Structure 1
């Protein structure tokens, strides 16, 4: 029986339920990442005995599943998307924004499918936007392809944010500090393609990079969905 199927234990004098437990766990994760989350720490945050939590949640992995589903409530669209492209674009941007609010989510993206009610509703909304456009196998590949891009792009962005905090250097500061070494390496002539990128490339912010890459992936999906000429 999954955590979604197991009922809460009978009410006790001190109020406690999965919603409060998950909210406390999300707070802890927002403050210190997933390592800051344990059933003991969540119980302490709720001023409850750790053993009481086991009536609601059996393992930390179950708690993580519940946390992921809680954040999926932030990814749900407010209205039904107009078409498949709007559905995938909106889902991608809402997932990125939710992860920027809850950085720990990046560590849990891309694994087994989330099966909570909010995650299932997100998936239903996405798939419904493809109704009648293609066979289910093509739709599945389309959604998986976009999801793979979104997961990779988000993880890279979060990794950069964490590196900035760990080193105390912004990306610009790190580039300036690394500049002399990179200049010496490029001067050897062994990296002409990289040299052109460094000298002629333009710097864009994370959101613009994410958006551009997403639109390229959506264009590729559109080509696969188009009927043969």
Structure 2
């Protein structure tokens, strides 16, 4: 039985429900990451005894499932996108924006399927946009391919943000600090392709890089669907 199938106990003496518990857990994770979340800490934030929470949630994994589903409510589009390409584009960009608001989400993306009501609604909305374009196996591979792209891109971006906070250096500052080393290595002539990328490549920010890569993946999916 999943956490969504199990009924909630009476909310006394301190009023509790899963929604309040999950909101407190999300707030803790937003402040300090997933390592800052425990049933004890959530209970303390709610001014309730830790054992009270076990009536609502059995394990930390269940709590994480509920937290992810709460964020999927932010990812779910307000209205059905006009076509399959827009549906997958909206899914990718809304997931990225949610992950930047809740960086801990990047650690939980790409794992087990999201089975909560919001996660299922996102899946339904996405698959409905591709319904009838190809056989269901092709449709599933298309969605998985786009999901694999934006999950990896989001994780890389969040990792960079965490590194900036840990080192106190922005990405450009970090690159400048290591510039002399890179210059010496490129001057050896052993890395001509890399030298061309460093000297001639155009710098783009994370959002532009994400959007460009996404469009390339969507082009590939379009060719397969055709």
With normalisation by structure 2, the TM-score equals 0.99
1:163 Cα deviation (Å)? 0.4
**Pair 1:78-2:83 in alignment:** no
Name the structure 1 match of 2:48: 48
Please give the alpha-carbon distance, in whole angstroms, between the structure 1 residues aligned to 2:85 and 2:138: 14
Distance 1:131 1:40 in 2: 45
What CA deviation, in whole Å up to 9, does each residue of 1:84-108 have, x standing for no partner? Answer: 0010000000000000000000000
**Structure 1 gaps, min length 5:** none
Matches within 5 A, 1:168-183: 168-183=168-183
CA offsets per residue over residues 31-50 of structure 1, 9 Å max, x none? 00000000000000000000
Match of 2:21 in 1: 21
Residue-by-residue CA offset, 1:4-54 (whole Å, 9 max, x unaligned):
110101232321000000000000000000000000000000000000000
* Runs of at least 5 residues in structure 2 that lack an aligned partner in the other structure: none
| Count of residue correspondences | 226
Determine the structure 1 residue equivalent to 2:100. 100
- State the match for 2:9 in structure 1: 9
Equivalence for 1:199: 199
State the superposition RMSD in angstroms: 0.5
Residue equivalent to 1:148: 148
By how many angstroms is 1:60 displaced? 0.3
**Partner residue of 1:132?**
132
Once the two structures are TM-superposed, the CA of residue 132 in structure 1 deviates from its matched residue by 1.1
Post-superposition offset of 1:177: 0.3
1:123-162 CA-to-partner distances (Å, cap 9, x unmatched) read: 0000000121100000000000000000000000000000
Counterpart of 2:32 in structure 1 is 32
TM-score (norm 1): 0.98
Q: Any idea what SS the aligned residue of 2:141 has?
A: helix
Give the ranges of 4+ consecutive aligned residues of structure 1 lying more than 2 Å apart after TM superposition.
none
